[in-house]
Structure 1
Amino acid sequence: MMIKRNSVSEKILERGAESLKDWESGNVTLDDCLEQLRNENGHEKSAVASLLFEYFRHKGFIDSLIQKHARRGNVKQEMRVIVACTLTQSFFQTGIAPQSAVNVAVDYVKQRYGHGPGAFINAIMRSILSSKDAKNIPPYSFPEALREKWLKQFGKETTAQILSHYASNPPVAFRVRGEIPEAALAELKCSRITADDLPAGFRFYQTNDSNAFFRQNWLEKGMIYVQDPATSLALSLLDGNVSGRVLDACAAPGGKTIMLSDLAGEGGLKLTAADRSPQRLRQLNVNLKRAGVRARTVQASAQENPFEKESFDLILADVPCSNSGVIRRRPDAPWRYQVKRVAELTLLQADILDSLSQLVRSGGRLLYSTCSIEPEENIRQIENFLALHSDFTLKKQALFLPSEVHDGAFGALLEKKN
């Protein structure tokens, strides 16, 4: 229930707390929470988004403080999410002083829930802020089970590097599609993203001054597309060879669909983009129109689709995954990571691959892509697919681990035998 608020600060607190409640339901992600804020005032939207990002980067630390300082370690969800948001503001945000954050929370709770709950918020916040715990703040907190898994997979040094990127605020990364002079990019403090492992053929830049950047209307004109360089990994396996009948089977919001079109150049491409979600399909259409990309768009799931067998020369399967490669942009992903959930995802991925393999013509190609760094979603998934589909061969595969300049990703190019 929405109530009248006395200040912008109370509205930010309320929306942050509501978002955490939605996330804890298990049915929405941080991306979904941010999408629900799309109609909010620009300042308030960015403030709530910043609050949520910082909370998830420090979720383990914040939750442990609440557990430790609450009586009997039990706090009702309505109060817990408000305390979590207020602690996040107090410890990790500079826009509001800790004392002010506490006062806002107390006034808000008194107005909405009564004096008793307001007194509780006041007591637990002052207990935490005056404790020794408040003076020993770790740079980030991370689920121990996933950290241990990565230590076994990647070793101590690589795991430490991945986690250090998790704690950082990523810049706005984008791909230049149009003719934008280097001088104009430099003037807006946009720097070229370069690294030895980045695929050639794409121009990626980054900026920390997003306000000045977006005022240029380059996005609206289709001259750029906001995406991390890791999105180009799978597409780079094609070596620029994109032509004929092409399907992007999990297309929304359209970043890789646009890349396929750009790789094809003039003519020779019949592009179809499909997605199961009506809402995401609408956004896909908006992005394709803005980019000037001609494609047939279809509402269909990758498993149950209206396409004829062996009707495509190339299919891109950018499948749902654990998002473990993009944790700095989706800091809730580690907290959603569960062995059972990943097992369900691998079954879904296998089902998608099996369904789409039937749509590839003889001699055609199937391009598999994830933003995960987990072997069971990547290398092992491809090995299992090949064991069941002797009519396909693996042409090449590649893995990006998260780094200072790009997220993590995996790609594998399969070819159907003639």
Structure 2
Amino acid sequence: MRKVNSDTATHVLADACRVLASVGAGERSLDDALDSALDYPELRRTTGSLLFFYFRRKRFVDKWIDTLACRPPRPRLRRLLAAVLTQIRFQSGIVPESAANVAVELAKSAGNANEAKFVNAVLRRAVRELPPVDDAPEEVLPPAVLKRWRGRYSPEELAAMCRAFLSPAPFTFRAERGFEPPPEWEGTAVPCRGPFRFFESPKPGLVLDSEAMREGRIYIQDPATTLAASLPGMEPVRRILDVCAAPGGKSLLLSERMKAGTSLVAADRSARRQEQTKENFRRRGLDFAVITAEPRELAGEFDLVLADVPCSNTGVFRRRPDALWRFGAAELRKITVLQHSILDAAAARVAPGGQLVYSTCSIEPEENEQQAERFLAEHPDFTRMASEQLLPSVESDGAYACLLRRSAQSMPT
């Protein structure tokens, strides 16, 4: 167990509390908060590791707080306790007693001596009485998610997804044709769909700081992303539109399957994220059009339109463990309305005889098969050619994709 500088430990804990406040208020996701809410961004990796552990073990930690505290702690203190108890029980980078000392001092710095005494009492008891950890789904998954998934999956499937939820996602990347990862990356080939090549590496620092990364020879991506670009029945095309493109990952997948002379338009509503799309294309020497627009603002006809829509992210919980804790009926209703509108707008851009790919990184039927069924009922000129749902596992994320074809006799929109 390594010794952590007390200032570093204080900064990490303080930033963790800030991020939890932002995520808890519904202001932003964990990833977004880590990008924008840190006072010490140079410690992002350490703070992020702590918070990823917390959201994977949130049910355990929250229950532990309730057991330890003689009264319900105020929200600010509860966030502090959640962060430090995660360190004490699940991380080895700091001695439990040291983590407790840092938390007490942080409480003191807020100017309330009684709150500091309360935190001290709770944490001294926690260090003495470490409870056992149960990995059963009912002790890990958020109640709302557990209730839904129990009605849909077998006990074996549920246990497998629970194991995946508790497992940090491996570092994976896609390599372009002709590029072989150097031996020092210790890359291991991993399965994926289509003609693509993916690798897992225990050396993310080497990969991210490599010339290959700067030149666009590799792209950081999960193998499940290949599903949308690899459905059976997809035909060669001349004109492609990606309506929710940023930061360009799926456009890049499609580019590897493009024939000479094929054009691609990458559209997205976020100007900020489209800057990353432009950079990803620039690295690879791709002269694709990048535009900032809402799907309904787009014009023209295309042989293939990809709608990789915003979703609940329940299929990527290994990388976004907070997504399961933000999931609920209200959010699901809101996101399915948005998906429906994007799919409608995307369909209007499909040329007669053209193809439409609808995809998500969700595993919820309302966002996937039910969304496709509703679309087909409202658009009789489209036919489903293929669809597939991947469940998340310890090897890869979850994903859904559906290939739709428009009748060649369709009237122009």
Alignment of 1:231-270 (within 5 A): 231-237=225-231, 241-265=235-259, 267-270=260-263
Q: Is residue 2:101 matched to residue 1:103?
A: yes
Deviation at 1:105, TM superposition (A): 1.1
Aligned-CA RMSD value? 1.9
Instruction: Give the AA of the match of 2:155.
Output: K
Q: Is residue 2:269 matched to residue 1:282?
A: no
SS in 2 for 1:72: coil
Deviation at 1:100, TM superposition (A): 0.6
CA contact (8 A) 1:364 1:415 kept: yes
Which residue of structure 1 lines up, in the alignment, with residue 7 of structure 2?
A: 7
Cα distance in 2 for residues equivalent to 1:163 and 1:323 = 15
Distance 1:250-1:161 versus aligned 2 partners, 3 A rule: same
Q: Structure 2-normalised TM-score?
A: 0.92
Alignment coverage as a number of residue pairs: 401
Deviation at 1:212, TM superposition (A): 2.7
Q: Structure 1-normalised TM-score?
A: 0.91
Which residue of structure 1 lines up, in the alignment, with residue 197 of structure 2?
A: 203
Q: Is residue 2:151 matched to residue 1:137?
A: no
Instruction: Give the AA of the match of 2:381.
Output: D
Q: Percent identity?
A: 37
Structure 1 gap ranges (5+)? none
Which residue of structure 2 lines up, in the alignment, with residue 292 of structure 1?
A: 285
Distance 1:35-1:287 versus aligned 2 partners, 3 A rule: farther
Alpha-carbon deviations, 1:50-98, whole Å to 9, x = none? 011000000111112222332332x222211111110111111111111
Cα distance in 2 for residues equivalent to 1:10 and 1:47 = 12
Match of 1:79 among 77, 85, 108: 77
Instruction: Give the AA of the match of 1:28.
Output: R
Instruction: Give the AA of the match of 1:171.
Output: P
Cα distance in 2 for residues equivalent to 1:314 and 1:113 = 61
CA contact (8 A) 2:224 2:396 kept: yes
Deviation at 1:117, TM superposition (A): 2.3
Cα distance in 2 for residues equivalent to 1:97 and 1:6 = 11
CA contact (8 A) 2:234 2:403 kept: no
Instruction: Give the AA of the match of 2:120.
Output: N
Cα distance in 2 for residues equivalent to 1:79 and 1:39 = 19
Which residue of structure 2 lines up, in the alignment, with residue 192 of structure 1?
A: 189
Distance 1:357-1:399 versus aligned 2 partners, 3 A rule: same
Structure 2 gap ranges (5+)? 409-413
CA contact (8 A) 2:267 2:291 kept: yes
Distance 1:280-1:238 versus aligned 2 partners, 3 A rule: farther
SS in 1 for 2:54: helix
Deviation at 1:6, TM superposition (A): 6.6
Cα distance in 2 for residues equivalent to 1:41 and 1:341 = 30
Distance 1:164-1:225 versus aligned 2 partners, 3 A rule: same
Cα distance in 2 for residues equivalent to 1:319 and 1:416 = 19
Alpha-carbon deviations, 1:242-287, whole Å to 9, x = none? 432211101111110111112104x322211111112111222222
SS in 2 for 1:372: coil
CA contact (8 A) 2:232 2:386 kept: no
Which residue of structure 2 lines up, in the alignment, with residue 157 of structure 1?
A: 156
Name the stretch that deviates more: 221-230 or 207-216. Answer: 207-216
Q: Is residue 2:386 matched to residue 1:384?
A: no
SS in 1 for 2:215: coil
SS in 1 for 2:205: helix
Cα distance in 2 for residues equivalent to 1:35 and 1:313 = 37
CA contact (8 A) 1:258 1:293 kept: no
CA contact (8 A) 1:243 1:268 kept: no
Instruction: Give the AA of the match of 1:138.
Output: D
Which residue of structure 1 lines up, in the alignment, with residue 297 of structure 2?
A: 305
Cα distance in 2 for residues equivalent to 1:121 and 1:242 = 63
CA contact (8 A) 1:312 1:364 kept: yes
Which residue of structure 2 lines up, in the alignment, with residue 45 of structure 1?
A: 44
Which residue of structure 1 lines up, in the alignment, with residue 27 of structure 2?
A: 27
Which residue of structure 2 lines up, in the alignment, with residue 330 of structure 1?
A: 320
Moved over 4 A (4+): 37-42
Cα distance in 2 for residues equivalent to 1:61 and 1:201 = 42
Which residue of structure 1 lines up, in the alignment, with residue 308 of structure 2?
A: 318
Q: Is residue 2:53 matched to residue 1:59?
A: no
Alpha-carbon deviations, 1:373-411, whole Å to 9, x = none? 111111111111101100111111111111232111010
Deviation at 1:178, TM superposition (A): 4.8
Distance 1:232-1:39 versus aligned 2 partners, 3 A rule: farther
